[in-house]
Amino acid sequence: GTGILSSQPEENPHWWNANMVFIPYCSSDVWSGASSKSEKNEYAFMGALIIQEVIKELVGKGLSTAKVLLLAGSSAGGTGVLLNVDRVAEQLEEMGYQGIQVRGLADSGWFLDNKQYRRTDCIDTITCAPTEAIRRGIRYWNGIVPERCKLQFKEGEEWNCFFGYKIYPTLRCPVFVVQWLFDEAQLTVDNVHLTGQPVQEGQWLYIQNLGRELRNTLKDVTASFAPACLSHEIITRNHWTDIQVKGTSLPRALHCWDRSLHESNKNGKAPLKGCPIHLIDSCPWPHCNPSCPTIRDQFTGQEMNVIQFLMHMGFDVQKMAQQQGLEPSKLLGMLSSGS
């Protein structure tokens, strides 16, 4: 595998020699379903049950002697981590394995139930507003949400638990949240399409506001890594070591998180000095972080540098630099470092 699934120390410095199990996403239910195929239901949605069965099977393959189980996932899998991490911990406890620490790593699954840029009728998964899609899905999949989250909402409102900032405060297990501030999947469901023609001012303001809203939802998340980039998914990409927030890469932040959990288990100390785990970009627009992955024009497939991208977004870097009496690259550097 690549990224966190790689067995090469250069690509996966912290977990290259861990025991890894990859569960393919074949259930289309954000890992929440418990609905078997019947005469009424043509399809089975059994994501929540698949995870439980895999855990049962792994106990006989060495999981019973593990110290830590890290449940990780990207996109729908990231949301699936939030929905299942406590249930996996409870399952192992019930099976008599209280000694295994269960943790979560949720990548690109922290969605907002925000207002779409342009409202559209819900005719398919792409046009459906985030809340409406989950509302319908949860009925269709017979979706299971954790009991502690369910109790926060009225009956029929369980869909709220699919949104990270609402379920996170109810979780018992430690979870590390990785989220691009400008997530492409979020922008797609919000009907902001960045193809072909330059972005209108309304869209540009909407995108910046999205970054602000997302940053706000992460302020109380103890362990987080949120670069100001336009992208989707990161932990299984081979460039995941290159992205930095405030000078710290994601594998390094995960290593710090791992150590801090290890230390706090020992003696309840404060966070480790010089080992940050709450890393959120403060600069205000997509790709203002110079370590962001390369952008491709979705229309032509051409790679763009940051200046080309911002000009495509209707942001005149040259003009702004001129007004400030700076080189464009200097201006970008200053904005990127948040000064």
Among 229, 225, 231, 232, CA closest to 247: 225
Quote the CA–CA distance of 184 and 108 in Å, as a whole number. 10
Residues 226 and 276 sit within 8 Å (Cβ to Cβ):
no
Catalytic residues: 75, 183, 232
Quote the CA–CA distance of 131 and 114 in Å, as a whole number. 8
Which residues lie below 8 Å from residue 93, measured CB to CB, with a gap of 6+? none
Neighbouring-strand partners of residue 296:
303
Quote the CA–CA distance of 104 and 288 in Å, as a whole number. 28
Question: Vertex 12, ends 220 and 302: CA angle to 5°?
Answer: 85
Torsion angles phi and psi, residue 260, rounded to 5: -65, -35
How many other C-beta atoms can be found within 10 angstroms of the C-beta atom of residue 314?
13
Among 10, 5, 2, CA closest to 20: 5
Which residues in the chain belong to E strands, given as ranges?
A: 68-74, 101-107, 175-178, 182-183, 223-226, 230-231, 244-245, 248-249, 278-280, 295-296, 303-304
- CA 253, distance to chain mean position in Å, is 15
Torsion angles phi and psi, residue 298, rounded to 5: -60, -25
Max Cα distance, the chain (Å):
71
How many other C-beta atoms can be found within 10 angstroms of the C-beta atom of residue 288?
24
Residues 102 and 71 sit within 8 Å (Cβ to Cβ):
yes
Quote the CA–CA distance of 62 and 186 in Å, as a whole number. 38
